[in-house]
Amino acid sequence: MSFTLIDSGSEGYEFSTSVWHWKAAVEIIKSLDALSEGTVRQMGYNAMGIRISQEEAKKIADGIRGDILPKLAPNKRMFADLSITDEPDDGTIYRDEDEQWKNYSVTHDWLAELADFCERTKGFQIF
């Protein structure tokens, strides 16, 4: 499953990602208190078409750059529970319920790309 963030102001400007990254990103965005709880909840569902305004996108970008990236060195990953590891993702799919959280993480560079998209967009929809 994938998610695509489509810019409201520029045709063809979009940010695509896998569920493996997006689930962690949604939890990170939730931690920033930049959006309402309902909006964050809807962001986690594929193909909902939830709209994020330009102002909200800017808040996400600012939060990622100001609060998250300084904690996350370029060689580390952040999980959906906001914990950080320096172990690279080896592609293992964790099926045990107690370990499934390990499937969802983002890197410093991935978050920086998301912040760039959020900063440049005129608002976006998530599909």
> What ranges make up the beta strands (E) of 54-108?
77-79, 84-85, 105-107
Q: Among 3, 1, 12, which residue's Cα sits nearest to residue 126?
A: 3
Q: Is the dihedral of CA 1, 12, 41, 103 positive or negative?
A: positive
pTM: 0.93
Whether 125 shows a pLDDT value over 90: the answer reads yes
Over residues 44-100, the pLDDT tens digits come to 998 889 999 999 999 999 999 999 999 999 999 999 999 999 998 988 999 999 999
At CA 72, angle to CA 70 and CA 78, rounded to 5? 140
Could you tell me the residue ranges of all domains in the chain?
A: 2-126
